[in-house]
Amino acid sequence: MRNALVIILFTFAEANAKDSTDKLADGLVDRLVDRLFNKVLGQSAMARAPTGVMKMPSPVKPTPFFHQVPRIPQGSTFGTPSTPQMRGAVVPKGFGKEAAFHYEPMKFDYQEVPPADVDQLLNKGWVLLDVRQPEQVERAAIHGADQVPLYVLQNDFSPLGMYQEAVAFGLGGWWMGGRPMKENSDFVKEVQQKIGKGAPGIIAVCQSGLRSKQALKELHIAGYPNLALVKGGLNRVKHNELPCEVEGCRLDLAGSGNVAGALQWQSN
């Protein structure tokens, strides 16, 4: 007990007044662990030989396990809690040569239109572009909207693809019906076949707004000048605020499949 007290006092005496609490704690624990291993192994890290010659530190001295775990800098991406937008993101990022979309940050002009104001732009000739996958459109289609999916089902039945399907099912596919997706590499080409660049403007819409922003980025790069998206996506659309193909359909519930869809649970 006395030895431990001496170690504690010695550690705090060495510490500079400007040192953080973390440094003080690390120094204290280092010395306590070193002392413990020296007692157990019967040797000192820098014990003196009978001749007075200093021995090299013992090679068997282990490194405390807590120093083997790297610290996460404050303010880093991994050090901050995920936001609801990050947790609910459905946009998969492509990597390698197969990536067709541009995911780097980019500044360009576009409007965020509340659902209630969509009709004003449509009356001016703007075109509503539904970029949801076909499965969601089948549950609730928007009357008069052009449909071009930004992402489509991967439908890979190789061993790797079946593994991804199983993982997606275990992580919530049983609840929401989510499955592995891939980029629609013909997205811009299909839009160009339906909507010319001379149109007054394009309003992109998806379930939550994430895919719409990526779609606008691709259309901006392709040269479309006037772009907008439905703010918050269809999740924020009130009943009958946008016209459905089928009377009484619920656009705000179109993102929920499987069990969630059967219970009419609205996704966020």
Q: How far apart are CA 219 and CA 202, in angstroms?
A: 9
- Answer whether CATH 3.30.70.100 is correct for domain 108-262: no
Give residue 202's identity as a one-letter amino acid code: I
pLDDT of residue 261: 65
Overall pTM surpassing 0.85 (yes/no) = no
Residue 188 φ then ψ, to 5°: -65, -40
Q: CA–CA distance from 180 to each of 133, 157, 173, 207 (Å)? A: 12, 11, 9, 17
Closest CA to 207 of 79, 90, 68: 90
DSSP category for residue 204: E
Domain ranges of the chain: 2-67, 108-262
Amino acid at site 144: G
pLDDT at residue number 186: 96
> Is the separation of the CB atoms in 131 and 148 below 8 Å?
yes
- CA dist., res. 268 & res. 88, Å (int): 7
One DSSP character per residue, 121-180 reads HHTTT-EEEE-S-HHHHHHSPBTT-EE--SEEE----SHHHHHHHHHHIIIIIHHH----
Closest CA to 198 of 169, 236, 235, 224: 224
Total Cβ atoms within 10 A of residue 87: 9
Q: Which residue has the tokens 């970029």?
A: 131
Write down the pLDDT at residue 5.
45
Tell me the pLDDT of the chain (268 aa) as tens digits. 445 444 444 444 444 444 444 554 456 556 654 554 454 445 444 444 444 444 444 444 444 433 333 333 443 333 333 333 323 334 444 444 456 899 999 999 999 999 999 999 999 999 999 999 999 999 999 999 999 999 999 887 888 888 888 888 887 776 767 888 899 999 999 999 999 999 999 999 999 999 999 999 999 999 999 999 999 999 999 888 999 998 888 898 888 765 666 666 666 5
